A and B are shown apart, each in its own frame.
Chain A
Amino acid sequence: MTVADGCGAPEGGVKLEDTALGSQAVVAGTVRTPDGPAYPAYVRLLNDSGDFVAEVPTASDGGFRFYAAPGEWTVRVLAPGREAVQQTVSTDVGKVARVALQV
């Protein structure tokens, strides 16, 4: 099993140890506001054509995670009273691509 690069808890607090990452291509990260973790907030995953693929609510620490496929993705965040923000990211099999966003 492959886990995220580095040691200790991932910044987002999202635990990947419970999943065999081998065949998975993960996009994970955190969303923050100037005041702390963005919660509640919704994170949308769009493919390289801009089509919606999936959406998750953030965890209480602002963390999120997607099981994607190798390639380019856009992560877009909706949060109460904030402008939506987005960022592109690429991932690959066996990799956790980390994204940190601020709304």
Chain B
Amino acid sequence: MSRSDVLVDADWVAAHSGDPDVVLVEVDEDTTAYDKGHIAGAVKIDWKKDLQDPVRRDFIDKPSLEALLGGRGIGNDDTIVLYGGNNNWFAAYAYWFFKLYGHENLKLLDGGRKKWELESRELVTEVPQREAKTYTANEPDTAIRALRDEVLGAIGERNLVDVRSPDEYVGRLLAPAHLPQEQAQRAGHIPTARNIPWAKAANEDGTYKSDDELRELYAEAGLDEGRDTIAYCRIGERSAHTWFALHEILDRPNVKNYDGSWTEWGSLVGVPVATGDEA
């Protein structure tokens, strides 16, 4: 993968607006934004209601994903173009999640909903009607997902990247500042994790920085290219944004998203926690 394979812009979306094999998908945690207006032809996916298991803390299983995508009129050969609010956090998560279940043709609209809105581009309220299809997913690909025990074993052995804000990393905040501060039991970070906030990979308009800027960012932050990498945040959506930069744009191998992230780690009994600026 490289940037041109995985990122598209508004011109690309316009050029493919009539293509039945290209499906725009808006993914948000708060889907009221979609209801007020979305890019023409885009279908809606609710990060929580559609992608998360309603009972256990985990994402939905293979049959549920097959029913979701098939029901939205998305087939295995379609190109899914994801975008959303929050600088594409949840869109990047959905990209990671669909890739995990084996979808091949995936793209992210660079800058997401914010860039589209800041450029005063058209949004519509009409919901597209797509005929249901049969979707067949693969078993989840664990090469891009880290679970807690693997993270515990990675302390001091692999690159751990904490992509939350510096204030969350040092333990001053427990959640992003637009959410109430009431998440994990403890504040801080995983020992040896370097703090490379996701926002440093993005421009103010929500687009990803250039390949050279991204390489410089991760090199200056001390990421060892010879080691495998695990990224985490609070619930795994901002770290999906950084996973996308490392794995999809820069084509680094062996990069995993720890989607349990701080809401899991900061509540686990018996695991080490670091606070302050020190990794």
A19 to B179, CA, bound (A): 11
Query: Is A3 in the interface zone, CB < 8 Å from B?
Result: no
Q: Among the listed B118, B167, B176, which residue makes an inter-chain contact with A47, where contact means beta carbons less than 8 Å apart?
A: B167
Interface residues of B (CB under 8 A from A): 33, 85-87, 114, 117-120, 165-167, 172-173, 175-181, 197, 199-200, 204-205
The reply to whether A47 and B120 form a contact with Cβ atoms under 8 Å apart is no
Q: Among the listed A19, A42, A67, A79, which residue makes an inter-chain contact with B177, where contact means beta carbons less than 8 Å apart?
A: A67
Tell me which residues across on chain A come within 8 A of B120, comparing CB atoms. 80-81
Q: Are A67 and B86 CB-contacts (below 8 A) given A54-B176, A80-B118, A81-B120?
A: no
Tell me which residues across on chain B come within 8 A of A97, comparing CB atoms. none
Tell me which residues across on chain A come within 8 A of B175, comparing CB atoms. 67
A74 to B172, CA, bound (A): 17
Query: Is A57 in the interface zone, CB < 8 Å from B?
Result: yes
Q: A24-B180, A80-B117, A80-B118 are in contact. List 14 more A-B contacts (CB 8 A).
A: A42-B117, A42-B118, A45-B177, A51-B199, A52-B200, A53-B165, A53-B176, A54-B178, A67-B177, A67-B178, A67-B179, A78-B118, A80-B119, A80-B120
The reply to whether B165 and A69 form a contact with Cβ atoms under 8 Å apart is no
Tell me which residues across on chain B come within 8 A of A51, comparing CB atoms. 165-166, 197, 199
Tell me which residues across on chain A come within 8 A of B199, comparing CB atoms. 51-52
A52 to B177, CA, bound (A): 10
Specify the chain A residue showing the minimal Cβ separation from B176.
A54
A27 to B176, CA, bound (A): 13
